């Protein structure tokens, strides 16, 4: 059959409304197992038939399609309405502010600066510490500290640089010797250069002779090295964070002291009971001001603890002992003093 004959039969089908509607139903129905080539071959077969046969074939196809479609609708009708849902889950797209800003700028015909778009802010959880009463160690209240103060990750390289910096800074460098030019005496040659059969020798200030100078001996010098303040402050807070993470930072009230008349046995019992003694690596007690009674009491049990006021503490002291017992005011002022690398410094204690 030619192309003109096919087009004529299609026009005859379009003149009949019920056949035309079924034609579009069949055309809109696509089975997953069929493709375009299969559908076109089926239509060629239908158009080559006579009028009565083609109409019968169309009726059979439409009935098959209606039965196939109703087979999907039947299970859905059996499900109660309160638990039935569509095949695709409907989700609401969140309202993202940067995309809305770009869309509004595009509609208005304006150029939007990316720096003007608000960026999400991440606020990590603060460090929670307990304030204790000394020496009963009864909990008083909870304290909050910024994650940049007591929750910093361990940086061994930063701690090493700080310890070396402190060690170089505390070296005295006072060793002093007399070189050859510093020794007092005559510059006359002791014996002739030749003729004696002995070794050549100069004046009596020679380093080879007794009473002479020292060859390349030490002179007073400065051993201190440089370290940026921000790096040193970071090392301070890293050391405190390391103690806090291990549960070795004990914050007590500002009334850290001993009774007037105290025995070494009583002090030893307290330190052993709270696991602060020698068997647990000793303890460092940090106070805001120097307290004579506390210093005298700890001197009786020097093997279990040591006491330093805040001004005498450095990074090495924070890492040497097994526990840190620090007054709250002393800790707050240490954090305030060593926060130069932070944008927002803590409140002054």
What are the φ and ψ backbone dihedral angles of 75, each rounded to 5 degrees? -65, -35
- Over the stretch 60-105, which tens digit does the pLDDT of each residue have? 655 555 554 555 444 444 444 444 444 444 445 445 455 555 556 5
Q: What is the mean pLDDT of the chain?
A: 78
Residue 73's pLDDT is 47
pLDDT over 60 (residue 348): yes
Q: Is the pLDDT of residue 111 over 90?
A: no
| Cα-based distances in Å from 57 to 46, 191, 338 | 7, 139, 90
Tens digits of residue pLDDT in 131-185: 999 888 899 999 999 999 999 999 999 999 999 999 999 999 999 999 999 999 8
Count of C-beta atoms within a 10 Å radius of residue 2: 7
138-145 and 127-133 strand pairing = antiparallel
- Give the pLDDT of residue 319: 95
Grade residue 294 by pLDDT with cuts at 50, 70 and 90: confident
Worst-scoring range by mean pLDDT, 218-222, 227-231, 262-266?
262-266
Comparison of pLDDT for 17 and 342, the residue scoring more: 342
pLDDT computed for residue 108 by the predictor:
57
Q: What's the confidence (pLDDT) of residue 160?
A: 97
CB 177 within 8 A of CB 221: no
pLDDT, residue 115, reads 72
Instruction: Assess whether pLDDT exceeds 50 at residue 117.
Output: yes
Which residue's structure tokens are 């849902």?
85
Whether pLDDT at 26 is above 50: no
Backbone angles phi, psi at 306, to 5 degrees: -145, 155
- Look at residue 106 and tell me whether its pLDDT is greater than 90: no
pLDDT over threshold 70, residue 125 = yes
pLDDT exceeds 70 at position 45: no
Q: Which two tokens stand for residue 22?
A: 């079924």
Lowest-confidence pick of 4-13, 166-175, 324-333: 4-13
Residue whose C-alpha is closest to residue 254's, from 285, 284, 276, 282: 285
Structure tokens, 40 = 């076109």
**pLDDT at residue 249, as a whole number:** 95
135 cis-preceded (ω within 30 degrees of 0): yes
3-state helix, strand, coil in the chain (%, to 5): 45, 10, 45
Of 7-21, 39-53, 329-343, give the lowest mean pLDDT range.
Answer: 7-21
Q: 16-37 burial, b for 16+ CB within 10 Å, e for fewer?
A: eeebeebbeebeebeeeeeeee
- Residue closest to 326 by CA, chosen among 276, 280, 278, 279: 276
Element (H, E) at 136: none
How far, rounded to the nearest angstrom, does the alpha carbon of residue 35 sit from its chain's CA centroid? 55
- Answer yes or no: is pLDDT of 122 > 70: yes
Task: Pick the more confident residue, 235 or 52.
Answer: 235
pLDDT of residue 89: 46
User: Do 38 and 45 touch, CB atoms closer than 8 A?
Assistant: no
């Amino acid at each position: 059959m030619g192309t003109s004959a096919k087009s004529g039969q299609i026009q005859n089908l379009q003149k009949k409304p019920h056949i035309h509607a079924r034609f579009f139903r069949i055309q809109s129905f696509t089975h997953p197992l069929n493709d375009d080539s299969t559908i076109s071959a089926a239509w060629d077969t239908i158009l080559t038939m006579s009028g009565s046969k083609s109409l019968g074939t169309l009726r059979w196809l439409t009935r098959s399609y209606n039965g196939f479609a109703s087979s999907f609708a039947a299970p859905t009708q059996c499900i109660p309405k309160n638990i039935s849902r569509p095949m695709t889950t409907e989700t609401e797209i969140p309202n993202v502010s940067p995309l809305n800003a770009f869309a509004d700028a595009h509609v208005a015909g304006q150029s939007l600066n990316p720096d003007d778009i608000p960026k999400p802010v991440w606020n990590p959880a603060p460090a929670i510490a307990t304030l204790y009463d000394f020496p009963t160690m009864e909990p008083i209240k909870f304290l909050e500290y910024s994650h940049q103060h007591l929750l910093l990750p361990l940086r061994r390289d930063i701690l090493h640089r700080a310890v070396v910096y402190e060690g170089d800074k505390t070296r005295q460098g006072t060793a002093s010797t007399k070189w050859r030019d510093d020794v007092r005496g005559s510059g006359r040659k002791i014996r002739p250069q030749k003729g004696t059969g002995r070794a050549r020798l100069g004046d009596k200030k020679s380093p080879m002779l007794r009473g002479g100078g020292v060859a390349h001996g030490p002179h007073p010098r400065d051993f201190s090295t440089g370290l940026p303040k921000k790096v040193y402050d970071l090392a301070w807070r890293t050391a405190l964070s390391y103690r806090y993470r291990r549960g070795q930072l004990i914050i007590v009230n500002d009334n850290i002291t001993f009774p007037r008349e105290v025995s070494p046995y009583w002090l030893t019992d307290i330190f052993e009971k709270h696991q602060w003694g020698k068997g647990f690596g000793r303890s460092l007690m940090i106070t805001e001001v120097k307290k004579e009674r506390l210093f005298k009491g700890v001197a009786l049990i020097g093997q279990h603890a040591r006491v330093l006021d805040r001004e005498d503490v450095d990074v090495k002291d924070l890492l040497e002992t097994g526990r840190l017992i620090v007054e709250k005011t002393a800790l707050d002022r240490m954090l305030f003093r060593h926060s130069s690398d932070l944008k927002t410094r803590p409140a002054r204690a």
